[in-house]
Structure 1
Amino acid sequence: MASKTLQRLMEEAPRGQPLDTEMLGDMGVSPALATYMVKSGWLQRLSKGAYLLKGDSPSRDGIIAYLSRRVPGLHVGGKTALDWQGVRHNIAFRAKVVLWAQKPYEIPSWVEQHMRYSFQTTNIFDNELPCDTGLKPLPGGNPHVLVSVPERALLELASDIGKGQSLEEAINLMPSLRNIRPAVLGQFMTHCKRVKVVRLVRDLGKSSDYPWGEDLQRYVERLGSGTRWSNVNKDGERLTLNPK
């Protein structure tokens, strides 16, 4: 029975993706059998409830797919989402993967050994916008890896400015955002509750010189804040955003 289960595991387990106990159970591997397979060298244990086939190593998409089974709303967002969809200024060596989610989660330490990442649960939209709006796999990509569409990623990028993301780099990305869809962007701007984010997207839109960036002031006025927004980041740099 164990040999047949092992054969099934070798045939069905996705390569590069850590296996949790639920996945192993679906392939007929009980916790006791998993322990036996670890001792026998057929499985390696990465952490509690995380296993990998013998000779396999975690891939970027495999790690994200594994985490998405455990972290509500996990998706690739912001700068990374734009980069994966062809919007980039410079090609970074071993770029950091920007991950967003709905709730905090203690990501296992082994993840950082295989993938540079940042993780946040910043809530920039109101409760009327379904949390999965604008999240979908890339064409031909891992179906379990959700990525923000460019319009949502633009707001997430703006949210990160001053928190490790520079305004200069964000401006440099704008020439590559020719295909932003005004109606889709408008949906996210309408439901965005952060003054900083809405004003930054307005300013970034102006810098793009594309038609989609010409009429974003109305979303700033919707929030009803007529005062200057200003903040100093941890490096002492001040970001000031005017209401108009």
Structure 2
Amino acid sequence: MSTKNRIKINQLLQSQPSGTVFLSSWLVEHGYSHDLLRRYKSSNWLTSIGSGAMIRTGDKVGYEGALYTLQQQGGVPVHLGGKTALALQGRAHYLDLNVQQLFLFCGNNSTLPSWFLNHDWGYRITPIHTSFLPYDIGLTSIPHKTFTLKVANPERALLECLYLTPRVHSLLECYEVMEGMNNLRPKQVQLLLEKCTSIKVKRLFLYMAEKANHRWFDYVDTEQVHLGSGKRAFAREGGVYNSKYRITVPKELED
């Protein structure tokens, strides 16, 4: 390999944190031709993990490094959310960690590439395509080894849990999470509730927050949160109706 090409591969390898993925499209945009990338692979500098994605040969890459690449190189509006985000931030220590399931929230029009979905990351990847909340609010960054990941902050993650009820989580399970949320930020809660387009999520959140008697709830202006019209039922039989939020919930939750 010429000195020029050796300098170029060294620049490539140093351009991204260790433990992450390189996207072919991103590399081409940054001056690495497809022919040059093929030579790097044949020289065992890079190893393909699927169409359009490579890693440093011998590098150990987990789902975190792949997600970092989607967020930073790919510009994909995707983040760890719901119970996954809560667990990563130490907000849901009692959750069943044996399931090994990751909830990835992405926009309705977002597509996760096949190299990411088909690779065995050691977890069950569950993409949630929804726009019930704007993508650019309620996110925070958490460190992982040599890089950071965008994840839902606790306020948004709780709303995402409620979005998945009752299909994925039970109402009782979500309420147990809510009970532990005694230090949410009222301004962040207010913003998210006002921007949320899911009537179900907003009604359940307010009902559970009031029931849990959290102090921060006193600082949320519920008059500014649009709760729609009509009734909503979340219990098939033997439910209890809450007239304030016009929802029917399971009796065991009300009790």
With normalisation by structure 2, the TM-score equals 0.78
Give the corresponding residue for 2:184: 180
Give the superposition deviation at 1:224: 3.4
Residue 122 in structure 1 maps to residue 130 in structure 2: yes
1:104 equivalent among 95, 106, 110: 110
One-letter amino acid matched to 1:107? P
Residue 190 in structure 1 maps to residue 194 in structure 2: yes
Give the superposition deviation at 1:230: 4.5
Structure 1 gap ranges (5+):
none
Provide the secondary structure at the position in 1 that maps to 2:49. Answer: strand
Q: Distance in 1 between matches of 2:220 and 2:208?
A: 10
- Is the CA contact 2:158–2:178 (under 8 Å) kept in the aligned structure 1? no
Give the corresponding residue for 2:253: none
Residue correspondence of structure 1 range 42-53 to structure 2 within 5 A: 42-53=45-56
Identity percentage of aligned residues: 26
Give the corresponding residue for 2:6: 3
Residue 208 in structure 1 maps to residue 215 in structure 2: no
Mean Cα deviation higher: 96-105 or 108-117: 108-117
The count of aligned residue pairs is 236
2:167 equivalent among 159, 163, 179: 163
- Supply the RMSD in Å over aligned alpha carbons: 3.1
Instruction: Label 1:230 to 1:11 Cα distance change in 2 as closer, same or farther (>3 A).
Output: closer
1:92-136 per-residue CA deviation (whole Å, 9 max, x = no partner) reads 0363221112223043255440143211221213xxxx5311223
With normalisation by structure 1, the TM-score equals 0.81
2:57 equivalent among 54, 58, 63: 54
Give the superposition deviation at 1:177: 1.0
As a proportion of its length, which structure holds more strand? 2
